C-alpha cells in the first residue's frame, strides 16, 4: 500500500495515478510492493529529521528510511515541498516534474539504486 501524508499545506493531485506508476516501477525492477509512506513536509520539518537522524545540518529535498524485507519494498519517504519548488526553479522544470523525480528517487533507493 502506498499512502500520502501531509505535514504542511500541500496535497497530491491524481494520487491513484501516482500510486499505480510507483507500483509499476517497483514491479518492473523485480520487487514486491509493501507499505510505502510518503510524508510531504516543509524545509524546517525535514531539516530537523536530517539533523536528528543523519547528523547533517543541511537542507535536502528527500530523506528515505528503508524498512525493506528482502524483495518486499517498505519505507517512509519524507519530501520537502519547499526544496522541490526551489529545485524546479533552479532546473527550469515544472513543480510536478521535479516532485515526481524526487518521489521515484526514494523508491529506486529501495530497489538498490
What would the pLDDT profile of 42-53 be if each residue is shown by its tens digit? Answer: 999 999 999 999
Question: Could you tell me the pLDDT band of residue 74, with boundaries at 50, 70 and 90?
Answer: very high
Report the alpha-carbon distance of residue 98 to residue 91 in Å, rounded: 9
Residue 112's pLDDT is 92
Question: Helix %, strand %, coil % for the chain, to 5?
Answer: 45, 25, 25
Residue 16's pLDDT band (cuts 50, 70, 90): very high
Q: How large is the average pLDDT for residues 1-22? A: 96
Sequence-ordered strand ranges (E) for 1-113: 2-6, 32-41, 62-66, 72-80
Mean of all residue pLDDT scores within the chain: 96
Amino acid at each position: 500500500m502506498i499512502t500520502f501524508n501531509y505535514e504542511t499545506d500541500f496535497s497530491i493531485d491524481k494520487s491513484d495515478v501516482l500510486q499505480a506508476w510507483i507500483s509499476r516501477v517497483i514491479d518492473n525492477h523485480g520487487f514486491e510492493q509493501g507499505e510505502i509512506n510518503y510524508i510531504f513536509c516543509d524545509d524546517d520539518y525535514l531539516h530537523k529529521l536530517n539533523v536528528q537522524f543523519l547528523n547533517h545540518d543541511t537542507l535536502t529535498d528527500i530523506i528515505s528510511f528503508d524498512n525493506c524485507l528482502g524483495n518486499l519494498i517498505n519505507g517512509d519517504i519524507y519530501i520537502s515541498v519547499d526544496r522541490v519548488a526551489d529545485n524546479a526553479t533552479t532546473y527550469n522544470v515544472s513543480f510536478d516534474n521535479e516532485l515526481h523525480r524526487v518521489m521515484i528517487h526514494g523508491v529506486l533507493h529501495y530497489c538498490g539504486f
